C-alpha cells in the first residue's frame, strides 16, 4: 500500500468516523441521560437523508435542505419524545426496545410509502464537487472535507454546550440523579425532551450530510444504528467524549478493514470492540458503576 493510499484511507476513515459521531453522540446521550435504549435512532438518520433528498430536489440546494431540515427534525424529535418515548422512562429496557423497534418499522414503511423502494441519489453541491490530489493517482473529494469539518465544528459546539453551559450541567446532573434535579426546581421532562430532540437532529444531520455519499434508500438507518451501538459501547455508555473517539476508531478500523482484509471486513469493527472491552470493560470513557 502506497503512502498516499494510506493517507486516503485514513482521511476516509476519519470522515466516516466523524459522521458516525453525530449519530452516536445522540444515542449515547439519550441512553445516558434519559435511560432509553433507542432503536429508532438509526431511523432518524434515514429520515434526515430522505428529508435532504426531498428538500434538495425542491430547493435545488443541499445547503437549504440542511438549514430547513435540521429545525424540522428538531421539531419532529420533540413530537416523537412527547408522543412515544416519554412513556418509556419508567419502563424496563424490553419495553423500550419493543416500542422503539416498532418506530423503526413504522418509519421504514413510511419512507417506502412516500418514496418507494428505489435508491435515490443526492447531488453533491456544485461548489464542493471538486477534489484534492493526494500523490499521483489518488484524490479526495472536497465534499468529504466539508462534511468532516462540519462534524468537527458540531463536535466542538457539543463539547462547549455540555461542559460550559448550565444546560450542559443539568444534562450531566440529570444523567446521574434526575430526581434531585427535579426537586430543586428543574423541569426534568422538558430537559429530557430537549436532549431527545437534539439527539434526533444530530442523527438527521448526519443522514443529510451523508446523503450525497451513500445515496438514500429504505432501511439505510439499520446498519448505522448497529455500528453506532458499537461506538457507544466502545466509548463508554453515556460519554459523548467516548462517542467521539469511539467513532473515529470505528471509522478508521472499518475503512482499513475493507482495504486490508476485505473477506472479513465486516468483523473488524467487532474485533476492535472486543479488544477495547477486554482492555476497559466499561469502554474508553465509561463511568464506574457507583458514579452513574
Residues 187, 260, 264, 275: which binds other proteins (CB under 8 A)?
Answer: 187
| Residue 186 touching other proteins (CB under 8 A) | yes
| Residue 215 touching other proteins (CB under 8 A) | no
DSSP tag of 85: G
DSSP tag of 216: B
Cβ 228 to other proteins, closest distance in Å?
23
| Residue 182 touching other proteins (CB under 8 A) | yes
Cβ 190 to other proteins, closest distance in Å?
9
Say whether 162 sits in a helix, a strand or coil: helix
8 A C-beta contact, residue 206 and residue 216? no
# of chain residues touching other proteins (CB under 8 A): 23
Nearer to other proteins, 13 or 283 (CB): 283
Site string for other proteins, 106-125 (x = CB under 8 A): --------------------
Q: Give CA torsion, residues 269, 270, 271, 277, to 10 deg.
A: 110
How far apart, in whole angstroms, are the C-alpha atoms of residue 252 and residue 265? 12
Site string for other proteins, 156-175 (x = CB under 8 A): ----------x--xx-xx-x
Cβ 81 to other proteins, closest distance in Å?
17
Residues 177, 261, 267, 275: which binds other proteins (CB under 8 A)?
Answer: 177
Query: Is the sign of the CA dihedral 138, 142, 144, 145 positive or negative?
Result: positive
Nearer to other proteins, 182 or 222 (CB): 182
Looking at residues 259 to 288 of the shown chain, list those that interact with other proteins (rule: CB under 8 A). Answer: 287
* Assigned C-alpha cell, 69: 431540515
DSSP tag of 291: G
DSSP secondary structure, 248-288, as one string? HHHHHHHHHHHHH-GGGHHHHHHHHHHHHHHH-TT-TTPPP
Which phi and psi (to 5°) does residue 252 adopt? -70, -45
Nearer to other proteins, 13 or 238 (CB): 238
| Residue 92 touching other proteins (CB under 8 A) | no
Say whether 140 sits in a helix, a strand or coil: strand
Residues 157, 183, 271, 275: which binds other proteins (CB under 8 A)?
Answer: 183
List interacting residues with other proteins (CB under 8 A).
166, 169-170, 172-173, 175-177, 179-189, 287, 290-292
Amino acid at each position: 500500500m502506497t503512502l498516499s493510499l494510506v493517507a486516503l484511507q485514513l482521511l476516509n476513515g476519519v470522515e466516516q468516523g466523524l459522521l458516525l459521531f453525530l449519530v452516536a453522540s445522540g444515542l449515547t446521550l439519550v441512553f445516558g441521560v434519559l435511560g432509553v435504549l433507542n432503536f429508532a435512532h438509526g431511523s432518524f438518520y434515514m429520515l434526515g437523508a430522505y428529508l435532504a433528498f426531498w428538500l434538495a430536489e425542491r430547493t435545488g440546494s443541499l445547503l437549504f435542505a440542511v438549514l430547513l431540515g435540521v429545525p424540522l427534525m428538531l421539531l419532529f424529535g420533540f413530537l416523537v419524545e412527547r408522543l412515544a418515548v416519554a412513556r418509556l422512562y419508567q419502563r424496563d429496557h424490553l419495553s423500550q426496545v419493543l416500542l422503539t423497534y416498532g418506530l423503526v418499522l413504522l418509519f421504514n414503511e413510511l419512507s417506502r410509502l412516500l418514496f418507494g423502494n428505489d435508491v435515490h441519489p443526492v447531488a453533491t453541491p456544485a461548489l464542493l464537487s471538486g477534489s484534492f490530489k493526494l500523490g499521483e493517482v489518488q484524490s479526495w473529494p472536497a465534499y468529504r472535507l466539508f462534511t468532516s469539518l462540519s462534524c468537527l465544528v458540531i463536535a466542538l459546539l457539543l463539547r462547549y454546550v455540555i461542559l460550559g453551559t448550565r444546560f450542559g450541567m443539568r444534562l450531566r446532573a440529570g444523567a446521574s440523579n434526575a430526581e434531585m434535579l427535579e426537586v430543586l426546581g428543574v423541569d426534568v421532562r422538558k430537559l429530557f425532551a430537549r436532549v431527545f430532540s437534539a439527539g434526533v437532529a444530530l442523527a438527521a444531520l448526519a443522514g443529510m450530510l451523508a446523503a450525497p455519499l451513500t445515496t438514500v434508500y429504505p432501511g439505510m438507518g439499520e446498519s448505522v444504528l448497529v455500528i453506532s451501538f458499537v461506538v457507544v459501547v466502545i466509548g463508554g455508555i453515556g460519554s459523548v467524549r467516548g462517542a467521539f473517539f469511539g467513532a473515529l476508531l470505528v471509522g478508521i478500523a472499518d475503512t482499513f478493514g475493507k482495504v486490508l482484509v476485505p473477506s472479513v471486513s465486516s468483523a473488524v469493527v467487532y474485533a476492535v470492540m472486543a479488544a477495547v472491552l477486554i482492555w476497559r470493560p466499561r469502554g474508553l470513557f465509561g463511568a464506574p458503576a457507583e458514579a452513574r
